[in-house]
Chain A
Amino acid sequence: MATDFWASSHYKRWITDRATLKQARAEDLQYVDDPEHLEFLDIYFANAIAKLGRKLQLRQRAIATATVFFRRFYLKNAYCETDPFLVIAACCYVAAKAEESPVHIKNVVTESRTLFSQHYNVKNFPSDNSKLGEMEFYLVDDLECDLTVFHPYRTLMALCKKESSTDEDDETEAGEVGVGISADEGQRYWGSSEDKLEMSEAALQMAWHIINDTYRGSLCLLYPPHLIAIAAIYLTQVFHRPSRDNLSTLLQPPSSTAPHPRRSSRNAAESKKHQDPVTFLAELNVSLPLIATISQEIIALYALWDRYKDDSLPDTSSSSRQSPLSATGGCASRSRSGGTPQSEAADDHRVTPAFLSNLLMKMRENRLTDLAHPPTGRPVAVNKMLERTQAAG
């Protein structure tokens, strides 16, 4: 399902807004001290999915699909009432099937148990296949059987090409970047390669990684994938080009905007050999202020991520961990504390996975206490709210 995004379940049922996202986290919000911790959890879970996905040797696309499944599931469920790790395993398991690279259920169980107990302090991941099978059923049910997910990668490959590359080169490129849409297929829907924006290999890689990184936030629930791709291209241009002034003026506030962003149907009429980025972006039939908004949200996500310290490093490939901003933003490596569960997030305003694992556990415990009607007669959630309002006022 690659063509008609506007007729897809993805567009019709799964593009949502901030208010809905907020509503979906309402229950969890009662159990955290700082609402920001929920945003850190978004990163934390995305990292966990990526790690499990890599262990299962899933393609980037399947990992992205698993992440989208996870986000969609938690539009309808609360972290504190579910077992997110079992959900993660189910997301990877279903995504592998949906993306035609099925993995045996036993494999998923084994890898999950190992990974989650080593890095996430999850000691009770069920060893029984049928528990994962059961979770798969609830997941598919809550996904309303919508298993086709669109991703920005294809748009990226359709809009951009490597500098001075011929169409043939596109396919021989290393890594998954090369496995995008073929020149031939691309041509059918996106015009000839002459219309494509030329980028250096490094820039193309960067755009690819920016797209990967967007899955650490909620962008995939908020915006159509091709707009996320275009934002990634825009950001890449900003980071990579001296002429960034041109671009920022281009994206300055409300000029006349297309009210409803449609897929970029680019006029094949004038095909120039070398597209310059400004013209390129201007010619895409999309709302540029919207692209600017998405870009800002991506940058905000990087800012957040810079304050997140992943202390479980072994298999995090350096390239995917390196945010374009951290190169410029100068975040020196901190000493690893070993993440004592009790340590506050505070020290240097960094949040660690250990802290979040602990937070998750507490959220559940408190939820449980609430449900069991505590002897104080005052549910924990209420206490938390009281504390917060008292602290605030």
Chain B
Amino acid sequence: MDAVERANVERQKRWVKDQKVGEGTYAVVYRGREASTGRKVAIKKIKVGQFKDGLDMSAVREVKYLRELKHQNVIELLDVFSSKTNLNLVLEFLDSDLEMIIKDRSLVFLPADIKSWMAMTFRGLEFCHRNFVLHRDLKPNNLLIASDGQLKIADFGLARDFADPGYKMTCQVITRWYRPPELLFGCRYYGTAVDIWSVGCIFAELMLRTPYLAGESDMDQLKTIFRALGTPTEQDWPGHTKLPDYITVGQFPKTPLRDLFTAASPDALNLLSKCLIYEPRRRISAKDALHHQYFFAQPHPSYPSKLPKCATQLATAQPLEEVDANVDMESTVAGGKGGPIKARPKRKLNSPYDDSKSRSIARRLDFTQPIPGS
């Protein structure tokens, strides 16, 4: 075993996988803990499968950004290690998310609670934007809540760098209800304002306790937005009729936000309206939002630990079916006495030629195969 492998085994030993708690498109998530401290963690095992299609783009993005971003309001990637043919991301364990809290009818939100969640969201987002990262998938279900009440932005599978301006990007991002009008019109050059729109929608949802702009299709989404906020004029949003996928979906009058958000303070409505400005360049930035009067006026934001919490925890126990990761460790460690090049157990899975003596095919040369030209 070389130094690299040894280091990996060390890292692998540091973490223990317990039961499965969930599954996403490219990963299975386990509850786990740090062996030495018992600290609870989530272990996200990226499915590599049979390597046919390579690593999922979302996995690449998530890993790329989480490795760099460290902030109280961004989910923390504690470690990465490999086991067999899987990459494992060790994340802080987060019990619930904002969607569960919004949906939990037994909970009552005070204005100070909403302010607290908004402040934490903007703080995390400002950090991302300061580091030139667009999240591109903000929604209540991606805002996770730690047991101490801290809100953490998670799921960077659609995130991207925007440091090279003038670079075309896809407009097929952000879950529909949280997607800003410029993306619905097919705009390919966009910036931080897209995330701000999403936060505006989340803000509204916290006040309404139901999704604010819930369109049934992309076309209907535009209609839903315009019905709520009025169809934009050329003056509201210069040039928007020239966007690639511009369509007219009908003329709707502007109605004051106050009509719908009857209980909201004027400051809250002012901030909300600035998040939902049609013209992306005029939409408020995360940094300015944090300096908005709303956050300084009474009531002060609730302490995170005092925020409403879900009774039902995310990690409901599931059958102990897939407890792996550590099963192979013995054989990995024991491999140390063989030939000069050790096969890592993880390589065996995918190398049909492998037997106990043979070498890995990919990372190390396969010496069982003819050498080119010889």
Q: Which residues does chain A contribute within 8 Å of B369, judged by CB atoms?
A: 124
Q: Which residues does chain B contribute within 8 Å of A98, judged by CB atoms?
A: 60, 64
Please pick, from B51, B80, B169, B371, the residue contacting A133 in the complex, using a CB distance under 8 A. Answer: B51
Closest to B340 in A: A371
Structural contact, B67 and A147, CB atoms closer than 8 A: yes
Closest to A153 in B: B164
Interface presence of A144 (CB below 8 A): yes
Structural contact, B54 and A1, CB atoms closer than 8 A: no
Q: Closest approach, in angstroms, between the C-beta of B153 and any C-beta of chain A?
A: 15
Q: How far is the CA of A33 from the CA of B167 in the complex (A)?
A: 47
Q: Which residues does chain B contribute within 8 Å of A148, judged by CB atoms?
A: 64-65, 67-68
Contacting chain A: which of B25-33, B130-138, B143-151, B230-238? Answer: B130-138
Structural contact, A122 and B164, CB atoms closer than 8 A: no
Q: Closest approach, in angstroms, between the C-beta of A171 and any C-beta of chain B?
A: 6
Structural contact, A1 and B65, CB atoms closer than 8 A: yes
Residues facing A in B326-374 (CB within 8 A) are 339-341, 347, 350, 360-367, 369-374
Q: Which residues does chain A contribute within 8 Å of B374, judged by CB atoms?
A: 361, 365
Interface presence of B209 (CB below 8 A): no
Q: How far is the CA of A137 from the CA of B52 in the complex (A)?
A: 11
Please pick, from B63, B85, B161, B370, the residue contacting A1 in the complex, using a CB distance under 8 A. Answer: B161
Interface presence of B57 (CB below 8 A): yes
Closest to A144 in B: B80
Interface presence of B107 (CB below 8 A): no
Q: Closest approach, in angstroms, between the C-beta of B301 and any C-beta of chain A?
A: 27
Q: How far is the CA of A180 from the CA of B277 in the complex (A)?
A: 29
Q: Which residues does chain B contribute within 8 Å of A144, judged by CB atoms?
A: 80
Given contacts A124-B369, A133-B51, A147-B60, contact A81 B163 (CB under 8 A): no
Residues facing A in B49-90 (CB within 8 A) are 50-55, 57, 60, 63-65, 67-68, 70, 80, 82, 85, 87, 89
Please pick, from A2, A76, A123, the residue contacting B131 in the complex, using a CB distance under 8 A. Answer: A2
Interface presence of A283 (CB below 8 A): no
Residues facing B in A302-329 (CB within 8 A) are none
Q: Closest approach, in angstroms, between the C-beta of B72 and any C-beta of chain A?
A: 14
Q: How far is the CA of A138 from the CA of B366 in the complex (A)?
A: 14
Q: How far is the CA of A143 from the CA of B212 in the complex (A)?
A: 43
Q: How far is the CA of A368 from the CA of B361 in the complex (A)?
A: 14
Interface presence of B305 (CB below 8 A): no
Structural contact, B67 and A129, CB atoms closer than 8 A: no
Structural contact, B63 and A134, CB atoms closer than 8 A: no
Q: How far is the CA of A379 from the CA of B364 in the complex (A)?
A: 20
Q: Interface residues of B toward A: which range?
A: 35 or more
Please pick, from A83, A130, A182, the residue contacting B365 in the complex, using a CB distance under 8 A. Answer: A83
Interface presence of A3 (CB below 8 A): yes
Interface presence of A274 (CB below 8 A): no
Interface presence of B160 (CB below 8 A): yes
Q: Which residues does chain A contribute within 8 Å of B169, judged by CB atoms?
A: 100
Q: How far is the CA of A2 from the CA of B133 in the complex (A)?
A: 9
Q: Which residues does chain A contribute within 8 Å of B3, judged by CB atoms?
A: 76
Q: Which residues does chain B contribute within 8 Å of A240, judged by CB atoms?
A: none
Q: Which residues does chain B contribute within 8 Å of A94, judged by CB atoms?
A: 55, 60
Q: How far is the CA of A371 from the CA of B368 in the complex (A)?
A: 12
Residues facing B in A142-198 (CB within 8 A) are 142, 144-148, 154, 171, 179-182, 184-185
Interface presence of A131 (CB below 8 A): yes
Structural contact, A130 and B163, CB atoms closer than 8 A: no
Interface presence of A32 (CB below 8 A): no
Structural contact, B166 and A371, CB atoms closer than 8 A: no
Structural contact, A371 and B63, CB atoms closer than 8 A: no
Q: Closest approach, in angstroms, between the C-beta of B194 and any C-beta of chain A?
A: 16
Structural contact, A154 and B163, CB atoms closer than 8 A: yes
Q: Which residues does chain B contribute within 8 Å of A243, judged by CB atoms?
A: none
Structural contact, B362 and A131, CB atoms closer than 8 A: yes
Please pick, from B164, B367, B372, the residue contacting A371 in the complex, using a CB distance under 8 A. Answer: B367
Interface presence of A364 (CB below 8 A): yes
Interface presence of A127 (CB below 8 A): no
Contacting chain B: which of A4-12, A43-51, A249-257? Answer: A4-12
Proximity bits, B163-193, A CB within 8 Å = 1, else 0: 1111101000000000000000000000000
Structural contact, B52 and A2, CB atoms closer than 8 A: no
Please pick, from B52, B133, B363, B373, the residue contacting A77 in the complex, using a CB distance under 8 A. Answer: B363
Structural contact, B67 and A81, CB atoms closer than 8 A: no
Structural contact, B63 and A135, CB atoms closer than 8 A: no
Across the A-B interface, the 5 shortest Cβ-Cβ residue pairs = A133-B51, A2-B163, A138-B363, A182-B165, A147-B64
Give the interface of A toward B (CB within 8 A). Answer: 1-4, 7-9, 61, 76-77, 80-83, 86, 93-94, 97-98, 100, 102, 105, 121-124, 129-142, 144-148, 154, 171, 179-182, 184-185, 361, 364-365, 367-368, 370-371
A-B contact pairs, 28 of them (CB 8 A): A1-B65, A9-B67, A76-B3, A77-B4, A77-B364, A81-B341, A83-B362, A83-B365, A121-B372, A130-B51, A133-B52, A134-B85, A134-B350, A134-B361, A137-B48, A140-B63, A141-B87, A142-B363, A146-B67, A147-B64, A148-B65, A148-B68, A171-B165, A179-B166, A185-B163, A361-B372, A368-B365, A371-B339
| Apart from the given pairs A100-B167, A124-B369, A180-B164, 18 other A-B contacts in the complex at a CB distance below 8 Å | A2-B161, A2-B163, A8-B68, A94-B60, A100-B160, A129-B54, A130-B350, A133-B48, A133-B54, A134-B85, A136-B55, A137-B85, A140-B55, A141-B8, A141-B87, A145-B63, A145-B87, A370-B340
